[in-house]
Amino acid sequence: MGLAIKHQHDLVAILAAGASLELSAKAKHQHDLVALATAAKTGGSHLTLSDISIKPQHDLIAIATAGKGHVTLRD
């Protein structure tokens, strides 16, 4: 099973447990991306988000703020 089809709460738990993930931001809601970034910060892990070119600047800043150095944004 690919990570893309895991439920949001599963992804949050994986990040909070300390595992780093790389996911596409394309089909994710903003509040879910912020929650994932927060979980990465909490767990000391790292979240890499690809396909971010469709997201507005203020959304990217909110994600980065939630992750505080635990998020990489990639196109």
* Tens digit of each residue's pLDDT (9 = 90 or more) over 15-31: 999 999 999 999 999 99
Burial state string for 31-68 with b = 16 or more CB within 10 A and e = fewer than 16: eebbbbbbbbbebebbbebeebeebeeeebebbbebbe
Residue bearing tokens 């998020």: 71
Kind plus residue range of the DSSP H or E element containing 22: strand 21-24
* Tens digit of each residue's pLDDT (9 = 90 or more) over 49-72: 999 999 999 999 999 999 999 999
pTM score, two decimals? Answer: 0.94
pLDDT over 60 at 1, yes or no: no
Task: Show me where the domains of the chain are located.
Answer: 3-73
